[in-house]
Structure 1
Amino acid sequence: MRKWIFLSKRIAAILVFVGVMCTISLSAKAGDFDPDFYAAQYPDVVAAYGTNPNALYSHYLTFGVNEHRYKNREDMIAAQNGQQISQDVPSTYVDVDIDNQTMNYYVDGVSVLSSAVVTGNTQNGNGTPRGVFFIDSKIPGKYLVGPTWNVWVNRWMRFTGAVGLHDASWRSEFGGDIYTYNGSHGCVNLPSDVANTLYDMVSVGTMVVVH
């Protein structure tokens, strides 16, 4: 119970700065979280965030836990019968801190991989989107193509739209304020060795918190 309280407070403290919830089409990777029940039980959440499973799960993580909302019907019934229920708060996720230009991969609440990064260029309006997302694609090598770029990356981990975590072999420096004037087109640029390691550690469905 103490472990859950610590983890929920930690995630809530991170996500309180996150305004927009995720909009990708994956089913929420949430253990016994029931998005259909959550939507039916809490129409106020649906009115604000819609019915996307990931958006509902993100609301549950960010606000629902602390508001004592139920993640499924079984928990609601158990609570009504005076039984203690457990909260399904993930402690394994990728954390991207835009202000500090860092990436940490947490496993069971402990950072096992940390690195400086370069996120989206804020000077030209390409800032990396903030929110709660889930890795929905892993590709060991591909070209990233856009209006003015065509680059090869060895490790691609997409988490929303055309935005993902990937290696950036063309960069000699990471961190600092590079992102404010020479950042990416929205992706999270990683050193090659870090991207290789992270790629082997995460899976499709791993949560990504960008704040």
Structure 2
Amino acid sequence: MLLAFHKPFGVLSQFSKEHPSHRTLAEFGFPKNVYPIGRLDADSEGLLLLSDEASWNDRLLHPRHAHERTYHAQVEKVMTEEALASLRKGVKLPDFQTLPCKAELLAEQPAHGPRIPPIRERKSIPTSWVALTLIEGKNRQVRRMTAAVGFPTLRLIRVSIGGLKLEALRLGPGEWKELGKPELDRIF
């Protein structure tokens, strides 16, 4: 069984509660014995897959399979072509070098609903949206990459895993569904 979940902001990608104020996956009524495939940090939103089959973890997450995951990141300032080029080549972070990725400035703001709570906005600092497609996913990697090139992430949404797009699933924040064969075929 493979489930798609639209993880809302402020929810940890785990079932156990480490602190009374943290929201977890346990509150969303998932079937027993499923676990998240990969993670999205509590500050991130978007597509999260869950399964009761361990084989999905390796198939979807190991970089040797070059399985793409696409994120929309709202960043401070208007990202430059120079910063995008740095992201595309891979960024040297203090603890590792990221793999090359796809990076593009989105011409228009994507049609994501408002975040609750809203991001902080500064009247004197504009924001822009970028699409980043990676084949790896280390802890807070997208946020660390955009910050390393001078454009801190304000909002981060995973919009696709392989060819499976959050928008096509028509799931609102906090909603999930079991994937059927047509959707499973889109992942690869």
Higher helix share: 1
Larger Rg: 1
